[in-house]
């Protein structure tokens, strides 16, 4: 399980190696994404709170990157944070997510990105529920939910 200390280490010393890489030009991303998906994932945008389609969804499944379809988070680690953005306590795998120090808007935050294609997803904060204490605050528009119908 990742903790805040490991997240900070990744953002300072370098990220884990992803299983694969997906790289496209800006024009290619524009072709396959909606304008809102493009604005958020490729231009580090943020959707309005409570506007995202995945906010109040609790079906079992995997949340995949909207750009490259790599699984990022599992529904079992989703929790209701009350912030208006889908929130998770852990990535689906330690190397699924990439972390970078973000000093925009006069704040020091840790940006989270897809480690496969560098899509901007949101930020991670150290005020999540135990045991990890992490809160990944993610834009709905950066993910697609792959519903698992055969979960027992």
**Residues with catalytic roles:** 137
- Using the rule CB under 5 A, is 114 a contact of Zn ion? yes
Residue span binding Zn ion (CB under 5 A) among the ranges 26-34, 51-59, 68-76, 79-87: 68-76
Question: Using the rule CB under 5 A, which residue among 7, 40, 67, 92 binds Zn ion?
Answer: 67
Shortest separation between residue 118's beta carbon and Zn ion, angstroms? 7
Instruction: Provide, rounded to whole angstroms, the least separation between the CB of residue 114 and Zn ion.
Output: 3
The CA radius of gyration of the chain, in Å to the nearest whole number, is: 14
DSSP 8-state code for residue 7:
H
Residues 39 and 45: beta-carbon distance below 8 Å: yes
Q: How far is CA 31 from CA 25, 79, 121, 151, in A?
A: 10, 33, 19, 34
Footprint of Zn ion on this chain (CB under 5 A)?
65, 67-68, 114, 116-117, 119
């Amino acid at each position: 399980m990742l903790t805040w200390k490991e997240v900070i280490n990744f953002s300072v010393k370098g990220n884990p190696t992803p299983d694969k890489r997906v790289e496209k030009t800006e024009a290619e991303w524009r072709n396959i994404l909606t304008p809102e998906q493009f604005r958020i994932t490729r231009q580090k945008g943020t959707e309005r709170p409570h506007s995202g389609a995945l906010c109040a969804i609790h079906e079992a499944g995997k949340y995949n990157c909207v750009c490259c379809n790599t699984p990022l988070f599992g529904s079992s680690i989703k929790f209701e944070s009350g912030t208006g953005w889908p929130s998770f306590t852990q990535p689906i795998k330690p190397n699924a997510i990439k972390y970078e120090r973000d000093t925009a808007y006069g704040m020091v935050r840790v940006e989270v990105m897809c480690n496969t294609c560098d899509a901007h997803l949101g930020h991670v904060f150290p005020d999540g529920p135990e045991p990890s204490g992490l809160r990944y605050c993610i834009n709905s528009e950066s993910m697609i939910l792959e519903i698992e119908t055969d979960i027992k």
